[in-house]
Structures are given as structure tokens and as C-alpha cells.
Amino acid sequence: MRIVMLGSGYVGLVSGACFADFGHFVTCVDRAADKISQLEAGNIPIYEPGLGELVARSRAEGRLNFTTDLTGSAPAADAIFIAVGTPSRRGDGHADLSYVYAAARELAPLIKGHTLIVTKSTVPVGTGDEIERIIRELRPDADFAVVSNPEFLREGSAIEDFKRPDRIVVGTEDPRAQKIMADIYRPLHLNQGPLLFTDRRSSELIKYAANAFLATKITFINEIANLCEKVGANIQDVARGVGLDGRIGSKFLHAGPGFGGSCFPKDSQALIKTAQDFDSPLRIVETMARVNDERKNAMGQRIIAACGGSVEGKTIAVLGLTFKPNTDDMRDSPALAIVGDLQDAGAAIRAFDPKGMDQARQILASVDYANDAYACLAGADALVIVTEWEQFRALDLPRVRQLLRCPIVVDLRNIYRMEEMAALGFDYTCIGRNLLPLARTEPPRSELRIVTNNRA
Ligand code: NAD
């Protein structure tokens, strides 16, 4: 198969490299000339484990190339995938589809022979219909089908996710398009990767519903963590006990500072907007998004409280800036809200992230970036763990204790053992866990009063 990937960011580059690895001939196109020059020079513009090797192998075997020019590759393509960004539209939270529609207008004149136009970008219900309309208007003669094929990979484990997906969703009712999509993904379904065919609108909605559900799962366990802190329970035990139920599953039950990243926040907002437009509000998703936003700001307050009520004039060491480990992606990372709130409260921030600092520098000004974790925390008034990079789990804790000016540690990812931290003399705050079991208390008096009133 000859495949063109229009947009070579996290999704386009990983998908393109994996398709080339399956044996297809892939051209990754991007309008960002610097990105393409880097790729042509053998450099990978993003951090994604294993991607450099995969790209190098397919390039050496002549199945993967990069260009800014769509005109050379599109006419010969069996399938053109659209993998451009769909960020939140400024002001209203709808998905900004301007890049997707621009891509459709660019590729329309280049279609030659039967061609699939496949939307891999996350797009709201009905976008496929509009892409079809745009292309048909520009090229009434063209032989094409528009297919939805949302992507479910996670940054940090993108290649593994792409090659061993839980499912591949294909939205088209056109039998010829279904056959071509099955051929493109043939190595995966030979390998038991289930291929789910559905109509285009259902396919578009599956992606949003899946992301909203996962975001809700995280938000749910975060609120249960708040309750654990009040009642003297341990969120890690609670999450494990809940997650072992096969109907629930243990993934996405790790309490933390609230979700961020390039997908969950913007996709939740876009789904909320679609539902409102169709007069079918998603009240659970609306509440989830609000609770998550509030949580990120509550984390700043938690750190300030751990520092004795004020961070004015203090230096706070922040370890981890990316929205999760094993990526350099800073989009909507909780670190942005947390660092901003601490700076507003008068703190100086010193930060270290293993891969995210180049991106962070472009967004987080007035932060002092350190070269490693120990340099970051030396002389600081408190240490905050925002992202659970593996190397932070392995820190030499007695050395950390020695280097910190005050032994305050706020661990927003629960990566350390409470007893060990206490034994080392840290003043340790974490999420949904208390070092000492709380004295068994009655519910707050206000609640008792409500019970009495009800009886009356
Ligand atoms: P990204 O910003 O990393 O990459 C998008 C790329 O498209 C950029 O390099 C940009 O220069 C390029 N581009 C934009 N318009 C173009 C055009 N007309 N021609 C050529 N190139 C163009 O975005 P991403 O994270 O890869 O996300 C892409 C889509 O995939 C989004 O809809 C996103 O929601 C979805 N998605 C992302 C992830 C993820 O983990 N990042 C996972 C699943 C789905």
C-alpha cells in the first residue's frame, strides 16, 4: 500500500513509522519545514521511546520518507491519512477544525485514482461528512471515500499501543473502503487485534466517549482520594480493591494532581460542546471537567499549606513538568497550573524534567531550570513531585534530606512510602493517604443535624 500521512506530529509520525514497519510505503508530510528537516537529518523532533530506532529502520529499508510537499506523494496514494492537530478553539472550547479542513482542501486537487481519505485526528461527529462535502465540491470527478479511523495510542507507550491495540475502529459503510482498511491493518488483525467496523459518525463518537470515560475514571478516584484523607483510608488500597473487580479494571485509578495532556482536557470540552449543540447535555462529563480544573488549582493550595501557609520568598523545587512520564509533551500539564499558582503566591520555582524542559521553557517563563534532580532540590524550601518519572522513584532519599533546606516533600503521585519518608525525617504530604490512622470520628456535626432534621 502507498500511504500518505498528512501531519507528522505525535500521532502522524508514530502511525507513519508503524505502517512502514508493517511493510507499506509511507510518506509523512508536514508543513513545519523545521520538523521535516530534522526528520530528514535522522533526528526525532519529539520524545517517544523506541521511535528513533523504528524510523531509522524503515528509512534505511526505503519505506518511509519525509517531505513538506504533498503534491509529489498524494496522487500515487491508496490512502491519505489526516493526522493534524484539533486543539480547543479559542474562546468556546469546540474542537478547532481549521487544520483538518485546510488539509482536505489541500489534498482534494491531488486525488488520482481511487483514494481513501482517512481521518486519524480526533474530530467531532459529522466532521467526516464535512470533509466529504469539501472534497466533492472541489473535485466533483474524484473517486474517493472518507473514512474515520480514530487513534487510541498513548504518548510514552505509543508504538506498543499502535502495534498491539485493544481495537482498531474503522468508520465507513463502503465495502471497498472496509477492504482497503483491513489490508492496511492486516498485520494487526492477523495478530488478533480486533477490527471494529461501524458507520462514520459512531466511529467519531467512540473516540470522544472513550476519552471522556477514562478522564472520568481518573477524576472519580481523585475525589475518592480526597475522602480517604478525611476518613483515614488509604487510596492505594482502595483503588486496588476497586480495580481488581473485572468489571472496573485497575487502569486509570491512580490518584494524582488531576489529568492533563494533549487529549483529555480538550476532548472533554469538545464533547461537552457537541452534546450541548445537539441538546443532549452530558452532565457527568461537564462536572468531571470542572472538578478536574478545580483540582489542579487545589494542588497549589495543598503545597502552600504543606509549607506552613505561605510560599512567599521561598524556593520550591518541582520535579517533573510533563503531563505524564516518558513524553516531552507539556500540553495542559497540571504543572502549568501548579507552577503558576505558586509563582502568584510569591514562590521562586526551580524545576527539572528529564525530557520536557525544552517545551517547558517556551511556556513557563521565570522558572529556573536545573540540570538534574539533585541540583534542582539543593537548598530548596520544599520539594514537589508533579510527574512520576522512574528516576524520581530511585532518588537517594537521605541525600535529598541533606540537600533540602527544609525537609518538606509534597508527593502528588504517591511514589514514596510514607513510613520511610517519616523515618528519614521528612515532613511528607501525599495524595489520599495519612501516615497515622485518624481517630475514628463521627460524621461532621452539620451532617448529624441534617439527619435529625430529616427525622423531624
Ligand atoms: P501534533 O500537534 O503533535 O501534530 C500535528 C502536526 O500536523 C503538526 O506537526 C503540524 O505542523 C501538522 N500540520 C497541521 N496542518 C497541516 C497541514 N495542512 N499539512 C501538513 N501538516 C500539517 O498533534 P498530535 O498530538 O499528533 O495530534 C494529532 C491528532 O491526533 C489530534 O486530533 C489529537 O487529538 C489526536 N490524537 C492525539 C494523541 C496523542 O497522544 N498526542 C492520541 C490520539 C489522538
- Which residue among 5, 6, 27, 30 is best mutated to probe the pocket of ligand 1, counting the most ligand atoms within 8 A of its Cβ? 30
What is the 122 CA–ligand 1 centroid distance (Å)? 9
The rounded Å distance from CA 83 to ligand 1 centre is 5
What pLDDT does residue 365 have? 86
Cβ < 6 A, ligand 1 pocket: 6-12, 29-32, 35, 83-86, 99, 102-103, 106, 121-122, 151, 153, 155, 262-263
263 is catalytic: yes
Distance between Cα 414 and ligand 1 center (Å): 32
pLDDT of residue 455: 37
| 182 in Cβ contact with 189 (< 8 Å) | yes
| Whole-number percent of the chain with pLDDT over 90 | 93
**pLDDT average, residue stretch 370-383:** 98
Predicted confidence band of residue 443 (pLDDT cuts 50, 70, 90): low
Three-state SS sequence of the chain:
CEEEEECCCHHHHHHHHHHHHHCCEEEEECCCHHHHHHHHCCCCCCCCCCHHHHHHHHHHCCCEEEECCHHHHHHHCCEEEECCCCCECCCCCCECCHHHHHHHHHHHHHCCCCEEEEECCCCCCCHHHHHHHHHHHHCCCCCEEEEECCCCCCCCCHHHHHHCCCCEEEECCCHHHHHHHHHHCHHHHHCCCCEEEECHHHHHHHHHHHHHHHHHHHHHHHHHHHHHHHHCCCHHHHHHHHHCCCCCCCCCCCCCCCCCCCCHHHHHHHHHHHHHHCCCCCHHHHHHHHHHHHHHHHHHHHHHHHCCCCCCCCEEEEECCCCCCCCCCCCCCHHHHHHHHHHHCCCEEEEECCCCHHHHHHHCCCEEECCCHHHHHCCCCEEEECCCCHHHHCCCHHHHHHHCCCCEEEECCCCCCHHHHHHCCCEEECCCCCCCCCCCCCCCHHHHHHHHHHHC
Cα of 7 to ligand 1 centre, how many Å? 6
* pLDDT of 445 higher than 70: no
pTM over 0.85: yes
Q: What is the pLDDT of residues 189-234, one digit of tens each?
A: 877 779 999 999 999 999 999 999 999 999 999 999 999 999 999 9
57 CB-contact burial (10 Å; exposed 0-12 / middle 13-18 / buried 19+)? middle
CA distance 297 to 278: 31
Tell whether the model's pLDDT for residue 448 goes beyond 80: no
Residue 242 has pLDDT above 60, yes or no: yes
* Catalytic member of 18, 28, 228, 263: 263
Please write the tens of the pLDDT for every residue from 252-270.
999 999 999 999 999 999 9
What is the set of domains in the chain, with CATH numbers?
2-198 (3.40.50.720), 213-429 (3.40.50.720)
Residue recorded with cell 507528522: 8
pLDDT of residue 192: 72
- pLDDT over 80 (residue 454): no
Distance CA 212, CA 224 (A): 18
**Residue 252 phi, psi (nearest 5):** 60, 30
Average pLDDT of every residue of the chain: 95
On the question of pLDDT at 449 being above 60, the answer is no
pLDDT at 438 over 90: no
pLDDT at 343 over 70: yes
